[in-house]
Chain A
Amino acid sequence: MDLSYTPEQQAFRAEVRDWLARHVPAEPLEHFDATRAGFEAHRQWENTLKSGDWGMVTWPVEYGGRGLDLIQWLIFEEEYYRAGAPGRVNQNGIFLLGPTLIEFGTHEQKQRFLPPMASGEEIWAQAWSEPQAGSDLAGVRATATRDGDDYILNGHKIWSSRAVFADWAFGLFRAPGSERHKGMSLIFFPLDAPGVTVNPIRKINGHVGFAEIFLENVRVPAFNRLGDEGQGWHICMATAGFERGLMLRSPARYQVAAAKLAALWQERKADADPMLEAEVIRAHMNAEAYALSIYQTASRLMAGAKIGPEASTNKIFWSELDIHLHRTALSILGPEAELLPPPGAQDWLDDYIFALAGPIYAGSNEIQRNIIAERMLGLPR
């Protein structure tokens, strides 16, 4: 056990820091869920990242990555958040679908989909949930009917993040007549394909961050199916269990927020409830605990271990720490908490509203607790 960076890792950090200092936009971009212009500005940023080969550093070089290890990924993320670089508009692609494609895709599929994903040329939305299939994801009704070398997709997807402006979606579809966990396949479809209708849904912050998708006889080639026919559930669970537990939320995101919270406290403590200092310290502890846990997991994975159901503990921990941290910030702001900040200022309020979604998406925390109880602790179903 040695918790110090090697000279190579330090040099890598310096390289990332230097590049970001020269390229991160001086003015914050408009939010990618707010307007088409904001979305496209973020796509442009993804393209800039790709020009420096920073699109997705852990992917193999041949698919648009740098072939770096997980510790380097963590260092990259630390510098990325530290620099205040724009949010990753393609996070559904690069953090969720990408690693799954690398694990389950054919060489041809990786060649086709990964490079434009890494460059932001193709931005991805997720199409898993349906009106009657949320926590009970095995209840999806949308169908994929085989027709020669194609599939015909039909159904109604909902709560699809980024779907309003994105180019592609990956969704769960089942063979007609199949039930529950059997017969599902993971299939990609272009959001502008004939038969696709996307209706924006406003979130509680007013942004159109997600959408419902209607599919009516949408024809896609069988090439767009990831893994074997009927393997969809298994692949989805692998996505959840594998790198998603590690990558969906970077520790750096919370470390930056905790540092800003400490600064906010220092600035405002004369007028704030003195009890809040303990909460500010707690937010820092939580952010560091999450980061240390991820470093430990990264080390274990690099030593050949596989991530297991303990990934579910990550989801619970970061989503709860995020809410605690931002509630603390709003408490420090006191009666000013409800005011919208001026453009460009730290938006504790919007970040708080965003944090509230954490315990719901990517598998509700209730479902995660069931997973921990059943698969880590061995309690009966």
Chain B
Amino acid sequence: MDFTLNDEQMMFAETARTLFADSCSPDHWHRMMEADAAWDEARWAAIVDTGLTAMLLPESAGGLGLCEVDFALIAREAGYAALPEPLVESAGVAAPLLAALAPDHPALGDPMATIAIAHPLNPVVPHADRAAAILLEKDGEAFVATPDRVTLTPAPGIDPFRRLFRVDWDAADATALGSKSNGADWALALDRAALFSAAMGLGLAQRAVDLAVDYAKERQQFGKPIGSYQAVKHHLATAQVAIEFARPVVMAAAADIGRQDVHSRARVSHAKIVALEAADNAARASIQVHGAMGYSWEVDVHLFLKRALALSQNWGTPAFHRARIAERLFTQAAGPDQLFARDQKERETENA
């Protein structure tokens, strides 16, 4: 039993944090919004150079063969920076799925390429127009297509950095990647998407709190910084408590995601629900602490509110994830000795 991160994991996260701090600062956000841009090619090149897009790909596909715990830390940093590019959706979810289903697909050979996934749980696909390949699913069958073979209809959303598209397609224009046996890969992809959304939620939440703390130290009313008033302190303390009790759930979900059983699924769902609640609560508390400034476009808190809204409802709504927790709670043994429980079947396989 070891719940700590190792030095390499912390170093990788630190690298991502520095990269995003340098390349995805408030100045960058503002310039992009002025230009109505949702993509920064130079930043994406730096992300690719750093190896972040190769973390979850197997070594056989030129990847680093790292695990979900490693990538969850990166996803958290992406959330902290409100990263516009779909690093998490592509490198965390779609690319590893494509590598599992079609290891020789040409899109995997181009390091700068992004892969998108049109999952039945999500009505829209962010940045689908820039994807080298789009993964699709119909009646339990997996397909892949290039964007020019499907119909992309822009679906304007409130997050200035999520360029969204509805995807309509015909199976005749896509390449089938096989059926039933791919169910496990699709299930893992959903769990990864939910997990990394949760990890991004941790980052979104912390940034919203940090922005509010900075503001509350500076802004003076009644002759004192507003952060010295308990009403303000308690808003932010409450937001921080939610983060503190979402983080270990996210990390535990990441550590056990590979088991793909009723227990690991429930933990991913738990992480998804609480981390994005933490993000939503923190964003709203941050707007309140900023007062009228928080309601203005010029202050960046709205970016975190909007991203939290999107991630809360995509990759499974709270109700979807609550049902997966219910399945665990009401069909399996409960109690304090069941915290790290696993399927009996898997245990037997492991012993044999």
Residues of A in contact with B (beta carbons under 8 Å apart)? 1-6, 9, 13, 71, 77-79, 81-82, 251-252, 255-256, 258-259, 262-263, 266, 277-278, 280-281, 284-286, 288-293, 295-296, 298-300, 303, 310, 313, 316-317, 366, 368-370, 372-374, 376-381
Contacts and interface: CB of A to CB of B under 8 A. Distances in A.
A77 B339 CA distance: 13
27 contacts: A2-B255, A3-B1, A3-B3, A3-B252, A3-B255, A77-B336, A82-B337, A255-B334, A259-B334, A281-B326, A284-B329, A285-B273, A285-B274, A286-B245, A290-B245, A291-B336, A292-B3, A292-B248, A296-B3, A313-B240, A316-B237, A316-B241, A317-B244, A372-B233, A372-B237, A377-B236, A379-B227
Contacts of B273: 285
A313 B1 contact: no
B238 A369 contact: yes
Contacts of B274: 285, 289
A310 B8 CA distance: 25
Contacts of A369: 230, 233-234, 237-238
Nearest to A69: B1
B95 to A, nearest CB: 23
Contacts of A295: 1, 3, 248, 339
A2 to B, nearest CB: 5
A78 B336 contact: yes
Contacts of A379: 213, 216-217, 225, 227-228, 232-233, 236
B199 to A, nearest CB: 14
Given A1-B69, A289-B249, A373-B236, A256 B1 contact: no
Nearest to A252: B336
B340 A3 contact: yes
Contacts of A79: 336-337
Contact of A289 (B228, B248, B255, B340): B248
Contacts of B325: 281, 284-285
Contact of A293 (B230, B237, B244): B244
B132 to A, nearest CB: 33
Listed residue (B6, B248, B267) with the most chain A CB atoms within 10 angstroms of its CB: B248
Given A289-B245, A313-B244, A296 B334 contact: no
A289 B270 contact: yes
Given A3-B255, A289-B249, A313 B241 contact: yes
Contacts, number: 167
Given A366-B234, A369-B237, A2 B1 contact: yes
Interface string B195-233: 000000000000001000100110000001101101011
Nearest to B69: A1
Contacts of B9: 1
A300 B1 CA distance: 11
5 nearest A-B pairs in the assembled complex, by CB-CB distance: A373-B233, A259-B334, A299-B3, A78-B336, A369-B237
Question: Chain B interface mostly helix, strand, loop or mixed?
Answer: helix
B237 A378 contact: no
B336 A377 contact: no
Contacts of A9: 1
Contacts of A372: 233, 237, 240-241
B240 A376 contact: yes
A239 to B, nearest CB: 21
Nearest to B2: A2
Interface residues of B, number: 51
Contacts of A251: 336
Nearest to A254: B336
A3 B252 CA distance: 7
Contact of A4 (B1, B234, B249): B1
Given A372-B241, A373-B236, A5 B1 contact: yes
A380 B232 CA distance: 11
B237 to A, nearest CB: 4
B249 A299 contact: no
A293 B246 CA distance: 9
Contacts of A300: 3-4
Contact of A259 (B234, B249, B335): B335
B71 to A, nearest CB: 13
Given A252-B336, A377-B236, A6 B1 contact: yes
B130 interface: no
A211 B260 CA distance: 53
A251 B245 CA distance: 13
A281 to B, nearest CB: 5
Interface string B244-268: 1111110110011000000000010
Contacts of B3: 1, 3, 292, 295-296, 298-300
B254 to A, nearest CB: 8
Contacts of A313: 240-241, 244-245
Contact of B251 (A77, A255, A256, A296): A296
B227 A317 contact: no
A287 to B, nearest CB: 9
Contacts of A374: 233
A82 B336 contact: yes
Given A82-B335, A255-B335, 11 more contacts: A255-B338, A278-B322, A281-B325, A288-B249, A288-B267, A292-B3, A300-B3, A316-B241, A317-B245, A372-B240, A379-B236
Contacts of A366: 230, 234
Contacts of B338: 255
B230 A370 contact: yes
Contact of A262 (B209, B237, B334): B334
Nearest to B328: A284
Contacts of B225: 379-380
Contact of A303 (B4, B224, B252, B270): B4
B1 A258 contact: no
A374 B334 CA distance: 38
A378 B252 CA distance: 28
A247 to B, nearest CB: 15
